[in-house]
C-alpha cells in the first residue's frame, strides 16, 4: 500500500470514484442484461403464445360458420342458394386453414407441430366429407348427407373441436411455463441487481473509509503538530517515512512544508532570543550610561553656569581695572604737567632758590621718595602686565576646556580659581597704584609747600636748586615713562576686558549647548529606558516559544 499512500489526493479520489463507477457500471450491465433477458422472454411469450391465441377466436368463428353453411347447404332448396352457400363455405374453409397456419407458424414446438399435423389431417378429412355432403345435397340426397354429417363428419368435427381446444391448452401450458421462467429470470435479475448494488455500496463505503483515513490520518497528525507549533513549541518535527519522503501526495508535501516552516521559525526565534538577550544587556548598559551622561551634563551645566557667573564678575573687574588705569593715566599726565610747570617755575626762580637749600633738600628727598614710588608703580605695572598675560592664557584654557567639556567640567573649576586669583591680584595692584598715585600727589604737594617755604630762602639754595631742577627733569622723564606704562596697562586692561567679555559670551553659549545636551541626554536616557523595557518585553514574548530539545519529532504518512 506504499504506492497508494504516495499517490496525490486527486488520483486517490479519482481512483476511488473510478472503482465505484466500475462496480456501478458492472451492476448496471448485469441488471440491464437480466432485464433484457426478461424482456426477451416476455416478447417470446407474447409472440409465441399470446399473438397466435389472439387469432384463434377468428378461426373458431370461421370454423363454426363453415359448419352452419354446411348445414344450410344440406337444407337449401334452390340451386342458387346452394351455390352461394357453397362459395361461402369454401371461403370459410380457406380462412380456417390460413388462421391455423398462422397460429402454428409462430409456435415451433414439437407439440405444436404434432397438433398441427393432426388438425391438418382432420381438416382435410373434414373437407372431404364437406365436399361429399355438398355433392349429396346437390343431388338431392339430403338424408345421406345428413347421415354422413352426423356419423363420419361428426367424428371429424369432434376431433377438430378437440384439436382447437388442445391448441388453447398447449398455448396456455407454454405461456405458464414461460411465465414461470420469466418469474425466475426476474427474481434472478433482482437478486443479481441487489447483489451488485450491495457490492457497489460496500465498495463505495470501503473506498470512502480508506480514502477518508488516508486523508484525515495524516491531516490530523499535521493539525496536531501545527497546534503545538501555534502553542509555541518550535521543537516539533514531522519525520518523513521512506514511503512519504519523495511522495507527491499533497498532505505529505504539506507536512514537509510545515516541518520546514517549524525549522525556519525555530532558527528565526532562536536568533531573536539570542539577539534580544544581547539587546537587553546593551540597552541596560546604555540606559545606565545615559543616566550617568545626563547627570554629568547637568553637573557640567551647573559648573558652567558658575564659571559664567565668575567670568561675568571677572569681566566687571577687568572693566573696572581698565577704568581705574585710565584715571591713573590721566592723573599721571596731570602730575607730569604739574612737574613741568614746577620745572619752569624752578627755572624762573633758579636765582631765588639759593635761599631755600634746606627746602630743596627736603624737596629732593620727597622727590626721591616719589622716584621710589614710581619704581613701585613700575613693578605694579609689570604685575598688571603679567596678570593680563596669564588672564589671556587662562581665557584660552577656559575656551579649550569649554570645548572639551568632559568629566563634568572639572577643569573649569581650576580655571575659575586661577581667574579669581588673578582678578584679586589685579584688584590689589590697582589699589596699590591708586595709593601710590595719592602718595605721589601728597608728596608732590609737600614738595610744593616746601618749595614755597623755601622761596624765602631761595638764595641759600641756589646750588641745591640746580640739583632740584635736575631731579625734577628726571622725575618728569620718570612720570612720562609711568604715564606711558599706565597707558599700556589701561590698553591691556581694556583688551583683557574685551577678551573676558568674549569669554563670558562663549561660556554662556557653551552653557546653552550643555543645557541642550543635558536635555538631549535626558531624552536619550528616557529613550534608552524605553528601549530596555521593549527589549525585556521582547524577551518575554520570545520566552513563550520552546526552542530547546530539537530532537523531538512526529512521523506522518
Place of cell 426478461: 38
User: Quick count: other Cβ atoms within 10 Å of Cβ 541?
Assistant: 12
Q: DSSP string covering 210-272, please? A: HHHHHHHHHHHHHHHHHHHHHTTBTT--EEEPTTTTT---HHHHHHHHHHHHHHHHHHHHHHH
Among the candidates 180, 203, 226, a domain finishes at 203
Nearest to 375 by CA among 330, 427, 440: 440
Q: To 10 degrees, the CA torsion angle through 142, 143, 144, 147?
A: 120
User: Residue 216: what are its φ and ψ, rounded to 5°?
Assistant: -75, -35
Among the candidates 203, 234, 250, a domain finishes at 203
Range of the domain at 330: 304-542
Q: Do 178 and 43 reside in the same domain of the chain?
A: yes
Q: Do 188 and 315 reside in the same domain of the chain?
A: no
235: in domain: no
What distance in Å separates the CA atoms of residue 87 and residue 173, rounded to the nearest whole number?
37
Predicted confidence pLDDT, tens digits, the chain (557 residues): 555 555 566 666 777 677 777 777 777 777 677 677 766 666 665 555 555 555 566 666 666 666 676 666 666 666 666 677 667 777 777 677 776 666 666 666 677 667 667 776 767 776 776 767 777 767 777 777 677 767 766 677 777 777 777 776 777 776 777 777 778 877 887 887 788 778 878 877 887 777 777 677 777 777 777 787 777 776 777 665 555 555 666 666 666 777 777 778 777 777 777 776 776 677 677 667 767 766 776 776 677 677 667 666 766 766 776 677 677 667 767 766 766 776 677 677 666 655 555 666 666 566 567 656 666 765 675 676 567 567 657 656 665 765 676 666 556 656 656 665 665 676 676 667 667 766 766 776 676 566 566 545 655 656 666 776 676 677 677 767 776 776 777 677 677 667 766 767 776 776 776 677 667 667 766 776 777 777 777 767 766 667 666 444 444 45
Nearest to 371 by CA among 62, 363, 133: 363
Instruction: Identify the CATH number of the domain in which residue 103 sits.
Output: 1.20.120.30
What distance in Å separates the CA atoms of residue 538 and residue 536, rounded to the nearest whole number?
5
User: Residue 544: what are its φ and ψ, rounded to 5°?
Assistant: -70, -20
Burial 238-249 (b: 16+ CB within 10 A, else e): bebeebbeebeb
Q: Do 324 and 470 reside in the same domain of the chain?
A: yes
351: in domain: yes
Number of domains in the chain: 2
Nearest to 300 by CA among 418, 417, 411: 411
362: in domain: yes
Q: Do 357 and 505 reside in the same domain of the chain?
A: yes
299: in domain: no
Q: Do 192 and 309 reside in the same domain of the chain?
A: no
273: in domain: no
DSSP 533: H
43: in domain: yes
User: Residue 106: what are its φ and ψ, rounded to 5°?
Assistant: -90, 0
Among the candidates 203, 226, 242, a domain finishes at 203
245: in domain: no
Q: Do 66 and 176 reside in the same domain of the chain?
A: yes
Contacts of 161 (CB under 8 A, 6+ apart): none
88: in domain: yes
Flag whether the pTM goes above 0.85.
Answer: no
* Helix H or strand E segment including 5: helix 2-6
Q: Do 195 and 314 reside in the same domain of the chain?
A: no
Amino acid at each position: 500500500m506504499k504506492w497508494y499512500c504516495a499517490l496525490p489526493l486527486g488520483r486517490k479520489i479519482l481512483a476511488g470514484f473510478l472503482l465505484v463507477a466500475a462496480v456501478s457500471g458492472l451492476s448496471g450491465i448485469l441488471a440491464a442484461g437480466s432485464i433484457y433477458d426478461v424482456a426477451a422472454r416476455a416478447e417470446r411469450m407474447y409472440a409465441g403464445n399470446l399473438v397466435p391465441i389472439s387469432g384463434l377466436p377468428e378461426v373458431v368463428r370461421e370454423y363454426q360458420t363453415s359448419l352452419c353453411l354446411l348445414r344450410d347447404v344440406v337444407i337449401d332448396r334452390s340451386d342458387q342458394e346452394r351455390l352461394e352457400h357453397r362459395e361461402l363455405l369454401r371461403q370459410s374453409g380457406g380462412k380456417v386453414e390460413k388462421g391455423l397456419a398462422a397460429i402454428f407458424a409462430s409456435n415451433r414446438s414439437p407439440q405444436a407441430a404434432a397438433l398441427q399435423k393432426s388438425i391438418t389431417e382432420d381438416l382435410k378429412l373434414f373437407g372431404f366429407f364437406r365436399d361429399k355432403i355438398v355433392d349429396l345435397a346437390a343431388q338431392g340426397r339430403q338424408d345421406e348427407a345428413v347421415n354422413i354429417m352426423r356419423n363420419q363428419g361428426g367424428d371429424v368435427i369432434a376431433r377438430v373441436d378437440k384439436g382447437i381446444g388442445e391448441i388453447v391448452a398447449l398455448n396456455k401450458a407454454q405461456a405458464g411455463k414461460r411465465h414461470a421462467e420469466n418469474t425466475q429470470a426476474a427474481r434472478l435479475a433482482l437478486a443479481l441487481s441487489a447483489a451488485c448494488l450491495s457490492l457497489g455500496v460496500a465498495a463505495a463505503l470501503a473506498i470512502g473509509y480508506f480514502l477518508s483515513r488516508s486523508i484525515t490520518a495524516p491531516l490530523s497528525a499535521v493539525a496536531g503538530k501545527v497546534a503545538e507549533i501555534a502553542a509555541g513549541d518550535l521543537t516539533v518535527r514531522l519525520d518523513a517515512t521512506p514511503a512519504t519522503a519523495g511522495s507527491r501526495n499533497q498532505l505529505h508535501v504539506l507536512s514537509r512544508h510545515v516541518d520546514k516552516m517549524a525549522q525556519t521559525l525555530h532558527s528565526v526565534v532562536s536568533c531573536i532570543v539570542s539577539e534580544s538577550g544581547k539587546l537587553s544587556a546593551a540597552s541596560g548598559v546604555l540606559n545606565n550610561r545615559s543616566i550617568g551622561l545626563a547627570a554629568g551634563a547637568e553637573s557640567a551645566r551647573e559648573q558652567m553656569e558658575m564659571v559664567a557667573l565668575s567670568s561675568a564678575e571677572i569681566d566687571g573687574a577687568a572693566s573696572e581695572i581698565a577704568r581705574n588705569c585710565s584715571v591713573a593715566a590721566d592723573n599721571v599726565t596731570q602730575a607730569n604737567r604739574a612737574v613741568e610747570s614746577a620745572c619752569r617755575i624752578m627755572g624762573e626762580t633758579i636765582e631765588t632758590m639759593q635761599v631755600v637749600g634746606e627746602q630743596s633738600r627736603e624737596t629732593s628727598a620727597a622727590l626721591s621718595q616719589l622716584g621710589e614710588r614710581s619704581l613701585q608703580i613700575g613693578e605694579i605695572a609689570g604685575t598688571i602686565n603679567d596678570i593680563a598675560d596669564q588672564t589671556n592664557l587662562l581665557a584660552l584654557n577656559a575656551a579649550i576646556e569649554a570645548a572639551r567639556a568632559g568629566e563634568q567640567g572639572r577643569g573649569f573649576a581650576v580655571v575659575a580659581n586661577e581667574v579669581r586669583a588673578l582678578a584679586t591680584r589685579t584688584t590689589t595692584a590697582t589699589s596699590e597704584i591708586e595709593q601710590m598715585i595719592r602718595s605721589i600727589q601728597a608728596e608732590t604737594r609737600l614738595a610744593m609747600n616746601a618749595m614755597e617755604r623755601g622761596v624765602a630762602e631761595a638764595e641759600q639754595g641756589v646750588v641745591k636748586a640746580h640739583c632740584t631742577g635736575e631731579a625734577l627733569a628726571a622725575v618728569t622723564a620718570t612720570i612720562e615713562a609711568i604715564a606711558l606704562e599706565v597707558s599700556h596697562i589701561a590698553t591691556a586692561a581694556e583688551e583683557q576686558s574685551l577678551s573676558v567679555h568674549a569669554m563670558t559670551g562663549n561660556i554662556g553659549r557653551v552653557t546653552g549647548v550643555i543645557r541642550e545636551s543635558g536635555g538631549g541626554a535626558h531624552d536619550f536616557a528616557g529613550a534608552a529606558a524605553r528601549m530596555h523595557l521593549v527589549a525585556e518585553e521582547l524577551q518575554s514574548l520570545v520566552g513563550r516559544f520552546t526552542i530547546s530539545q530539537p530532537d523531538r519529532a512526529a512521523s506522518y504518512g
